[in-house]
Amino acid sequence: MAITARHAATATLALTHALSAAERGLPVFPLSPTKLPALRSPHRGEPEPVLCRGECGRPGHGVHDATTDPTGVRSLFAAAPWATGYGIACGRPPHHLIGIDLDVAPGPRSGPTPGPGSTAGPTWEAASRPGSGPGSGPAWEAASGPTPDSPLGSPPESVAALQQLALQHLFTLPETVVILTPSGGRHIWLTGPPDVVVPNSAGRLAPGIDVRGAGGYLVGPGSVTARGAYRPASGTADLAPAPCPRALLRLLTPPAPPARAQHHRHLSGAAQEQPARGHGLVQFVRAAHAGQRNTRLFWAACRAYEHGFGETLTEPLVDAALHTGLTEQEARATIASAARLTAGP
């Protein structure tokens, strides 16, 4: 790939920001302008899926490449000179970062549209900056009370949904790092306890709200993508990620259905040995990213049924699928499809 002088300058800036984040204890790795990992998997083209999270010692394992070691960070970016941004691995020590991603669908505006390069965001962004007057809240909040005819427009559905959750479950989001996305969205940074695993999810918490947890990543501030740059919201750049409120943490980590635990306790000794045979298949599903979750689950379930322990491996596969952000209904439907396909005539 030919690297222009402008692109090289952007890549240098991305490395600088990534090193700064690593110095703060945030594990980072390079991203391409598409927001995907910049380095391709070293196992691409192999006939069978390889369940490797970097154990092979080569880069190209996405979020599993993330490191806080400055030498390691420089090495990753040197291998990907086309990188224009960086990802921050969630769920990793010392911060155990949790990302609340608020998508944006702002209402209509009657005012002028900001031109190219403008730093003006949606009016619900500007009106909610610290110090913007009585009633102003954290940088993620929408301005209150816009009318349909107001040039301020309407607050995004995701912001309203988060506000409603906060009212229903009696929590308040603390002052914390908030990153503005090129589309006008928000990434709210929170920290979790080291003994709690927060799964990734898309829209499960509420419409328009995605969650980045263990195995996921956030695009770091200072990154430049095909759609624009990521930057801190006003007044949050120097903040440390704040602890996730307990009530919100409970919503992010729903308990496993009791019946499933009961099912495992009553398995026979022979059946208990079989999940160990499918451990690699379970890990293969757990490592899935958005866009490949159903495919990986279906492939793993087919292999399990073909080898005669599909029913025994169903619950571990469902658990793995939930970890990636699939719903239980989606996971069980996919596994049932694999069972039908491998049943034969």
Upstream peptide bond of 155 is cis (omega within 30 degrees of 0): no
Mean pLDDT of the region 37-50: 84
Q: How confident is the model at residue 3 (pLDDT cuts 50, 70, 90)?
A: low
Q: Three-class SS of residue 130? A: coil
DSSP, collapsed to helix, strand or coil, labels residue 11 as helix
- pLDDT at position 137 is 53
Integer Cα distance of 121 and 142 in angstroms: 12
CB 140 within 8 A of CB 124: no
Looking at per-residue confidence, does 162 or 123 come out higher? 162
- CA–CA dist 55, 283 (Å, integer): 14
What confidence category does residue 230 fall into, taking pLDDT thresholds of 50, 70 and 90? very high
What confidence tier does 251 reach under pLDDT thresholds 50, 70, 90?
very high
| 289-314 mean pLDDT | 83
pLDDT at 138 over 70: no
Cα–Cα distance between 91 and 9 in angstroms, integer? Answer: 31
pLDDT at 132 over 60: no
Report d(CA 255, CA 249) in Å as an integer: 11
- Tokens read off for 304: 């399990």
pLDDT at 181 over 90: yes
Q: Which residue has the higher pLDDT, 307 or 210?
A: 210
Query: Please, are residues 180 and 237 in contact by the beta-carbon 8 Å criterion?
Result: no
Q: Which position has the token pair 């322990």?
A: 309
Q: Do 5 and 73 touch, CB atoms closer than 8 A?
A: no
Which of 147 and 29 is assigned the larger pLDDT?
29
- The CA angle 143-149-151, to the nearest 5 degrees, is 55
pLDDT surpassing 50 at residue 335: yes
Query: Has residue 195 got a pLDDT over 50?
Result: yes
Q: What pLDDT is recorded for position 112?
A: 35
Q: Which of 67-76, 99-108, 128-137 has the lowest mean pLDDT?
A: 128-137
**Cis ω before 94 (30° cut-off from 0):** yes
Rounded average pLDDT over 9-21: 94
AA letter at 217? Y
* 263 or 293, which is more confident: 293
